[in-house]
């Protein structure tokens, strides 16, 4: 059991406790089973302490030093651990449900079998932590560092995953269903969240089906003159039961811009690229066109404009890139949207994806 003298000192004054720790840096304070419910332990130096089976429910451990501490089977439910240092701590079987671990450091910590249900792990550092068999159901994993972490067999039903670092993480056998339901396991945290939403949200499935069957990516430049044409092109495609997505290349080419275009291109039914502006989309088209293969690319250009010099390079991928179509004026393009865009794209799509169905609600083009 806990050393009553040390426990009394800790409860009396964190400053007095920290001063004692300075004089006993190599000691491992015995606080086994200590009752510290709701205790104010802000900035307390509990590094290396034995707090196994301790009761720290709703305790305030803001910026506390718990590095290397033994918290096995401890109850830290709803504890406030923001910016606390729990690096290399032992938290096997610990209860951390609804605990606030925002920006906490848990690198190298052992959380195997821990209960982190509805825990707040926003921007927490769990690099190289062991979370095997941990219950993360409903936890907030936003900008959380899980690089090289072990998540084998963790329960992740209802987790919120945004901007998580997972490089080198071990993610096998993640359970995406709640306790009491037949288990569905996957091997990727981000994919797991998506799959569960797909399985349990009919509306989302309909949205995904709509995106994959109707999305048309429109590439161009939003200069004052060209924006009106692109807007009209988008509005007209909508009337044909398509879902147009405009991408404005107002920023210089970058890895992020190119990556966004690649993602949208892979999702699109077909792509429409306006080449009228000589500075429009050369790098992005040259990057995405070679790998498309089953996605038709319609090249448009206002008659009399020079476009850009890479047109011939793009047309070399004639299996999925249609020859550039010159239109006399914007009105002719919009009025002839079937001839200029939809019919050529759908005809090419029949060749590239013979088993594909026409976009729902729109008659199949010849």
Ranked by mean pLDDT, which of 53-62, 212-221, 287-296 comes out on top?
Answer: 53-62
pLDDT value for 362: 47
Domains of the chain: 1-200 (2.160.20.80), 209-352 (3.40.50.450)
Higher pLDDT among residues 263 and 71, named by residue:
71
According to DSSP, the β-strands at 243-248 and 270-274 are unpaired
Q: How far apart are CA 144 and CA 109, in angstroms?
A: 15
The whole-number average pLDDT for the span 195-215 is 68
Band of pLDDT at residue 215, cut at 50, 70 and 90: confident
According to DSSP, the β-strands at 243-248 and 325-327 are unpaired
| pLDDT-above-70 percentage for the chain | 85
60-69, 280-289, 357-366: which has the minimum mean pLDDT?
357-366
Please provide the DSSP assignment of 64-85 as one string.
Answer: -B-TT-B-TT-B-TT-B-TT-B
Asked whether 168 and 145 are in contact (CB, 8 A), the reply is no
Asked whether 269 and 298 are in contact (CB, 8 A), the reply is no
- List all residues 6 or more positions away from 177 whose beta carbon is below 8 Å from its beta carbon: 157, 183, 184, 196
Ranked by mean pLDDT, which of 160-174, 194-208, 238-252, 271-285 comes out on top?
Answer: 160-174
The whole-number average pLDDT for the span 184-188 is 85
| pLDDT-above-90 percentage for the chain | 54
The answer on pLDDT for 366 being more than 50 is no
pLDDT value for 180: 85
Please provide the DSSP assignment of 245-314 as one string.
Answer: EEEE--SPP-HHHHHHHHHHHHH-SEEEEE--STTSSHHHHHHHHHHHSSS-EEEEEETT----TTHHHH
pLDDT value for 172: 87
The answer on pLDDT for 214 being more than 80 is yes
Q: Residue 239 — φ and ψ, nearest 5°?
A: -70, -10
The whole-number average pLDDT for the span 67-87 is 98
In the three-class reduction of DSSP (H, G, I as helix; E, B as strand; rest coil), residue 86 is classed as coil
Asked whether 247 and 217 are in contact (CB, 8 A), the reply is yes
In the three-class reduction of DSSP (H, G, I as helix; E, B as strand; rest coil), residue 22 is classed as helix
Alpha helices in 136-281 (DSSP H): 189-200, 202-214, 224-238, 255-267
Q: How far apart are CA 210 and CA 302, in angstroms?
A: 31
pLDDT value for 282: 60
Q: Among candidates 151, 113, 159, 114, which has minimal Cα distance to 129?
A: 151
Mean pLDDT, the chain, whole residue set? 86
The answer on pLDDT for 93 being more than 60 is yes
pLDDT value for 201: 67
pLDDT value for 314: 77
Higher pLDDT among residues 244 and 207, named by residue:
244
pLDDT value for 281: 60
HSE value, Cβ hemisphere, 13 Å, CA-based, for 134: 30
Give the other-Cβ count within 10 Å of 121's Cβ: 28
Quick one: which H or E segment has residue 21?
helix 14-23
Asked whether 46 and 67 are in contact (CB, 8 A), the reply is no
The answer on pLDDT for 252 being more than 70 is no
Give the other-Cβ count within 10 Å of 8's Cβ: 10
pLDDT value for 202: 64
**Over the range 236-273, which residues count as b (16 or more CB within 10 Å of their CB) and which as e?**
bbeebebbbbbbebeeeeeeebeeebeebbeebbbbbb
Q: Across the strands, what pairs with 50?
A: 30, 70
pLDDT value for 253: 46
Asked whether 106 and 124 are in contact (CB, 8 A), the reply is yes
62-71, 297-306, 326-335: which has the minimum mean pLDDT?
297-306
Q: Which residue has the tokens 């906490």?
A: 104
The answer on pLDDT for 288 being more than 90 is no
pLDDT value for 257: 59
Structure tokens at 180: 């009491």
28-37, 109-118, 221-230: which has the minimum mean pLDDT?
221-230
- CA 73, 75, 78, 82 torsion: positive or negative? negative
């Amino acid at each position: 059991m806990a050393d009553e003298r040390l426990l009394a000192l800790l409860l009396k004054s964190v400053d007095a406790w920290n001063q004692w720790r300075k004089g006993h840096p190599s000691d491992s304070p015995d606080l086994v089973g200590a009752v510290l419910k709701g205790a104010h332990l802000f900035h307390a130096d509990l590094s290396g302490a034995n707090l196994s089976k301790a009761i720290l429910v709703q305790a305030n451990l803001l910026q506390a030093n718990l590095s290397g501490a033994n918290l096995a089977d401890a109850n830290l439910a709803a504890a406030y651990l923001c910016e606390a240092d729990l690096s290399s701590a032992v938290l096997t079987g610990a209860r951390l449900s609804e605990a606030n671990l925002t920006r906490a450091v848990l690198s190298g910590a052992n959380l195997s079998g821990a209960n982190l249900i509805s825990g707040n792990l926003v921007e927490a550092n769990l690099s190289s932590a062991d979370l095997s068999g941990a219950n993360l159901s409903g936890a907030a994993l936003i900008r959380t560092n899980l690089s090289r972490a072990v998540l084998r067999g963790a329960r992740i039903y209802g987790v919120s995953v945004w901007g998580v670092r997972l490089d080198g993480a071990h993610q096998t056998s993640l359970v995406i269903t709640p306790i009491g339901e037949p288990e569905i396991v996957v091997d990727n945290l981000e994919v797991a969240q998506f799959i569960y939403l797909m399985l349990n949200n009919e509306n989302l499935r309909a949205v995904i089906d709509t995106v994959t069957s109707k999305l048309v990516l429109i590439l161009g430049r939003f200069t004052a003159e060209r924006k009106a044409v692109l807007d009209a092109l988008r509005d007209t495609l909508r009337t044909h039961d398509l879902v147009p997505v405009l991408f404005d290349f107002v920023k210089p080419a970058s890895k992020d811009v190119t990556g966004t275009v690649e993602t949208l291109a892979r999702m699109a039914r077909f792509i429409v690229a306006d080449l009228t502006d000589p500075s429009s989309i050369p790098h992005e088209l040259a990057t995405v066109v070679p790998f498309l293969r089953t996605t038709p690319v319609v090249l448009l250009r206002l008659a009399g404009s020079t476009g850009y010099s890479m047109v011939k390079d793009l047309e070399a991928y004639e299996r999925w890139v249609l020859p550039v179509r010159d239109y006399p004026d914007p009105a002719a393009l919009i009025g002839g949207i079937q001839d200029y865009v939809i019919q050529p794209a759908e005809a090419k799509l029949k060749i590239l994806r013979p088993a594909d169905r026409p976009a729902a609600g729109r008659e199949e083009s010849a």
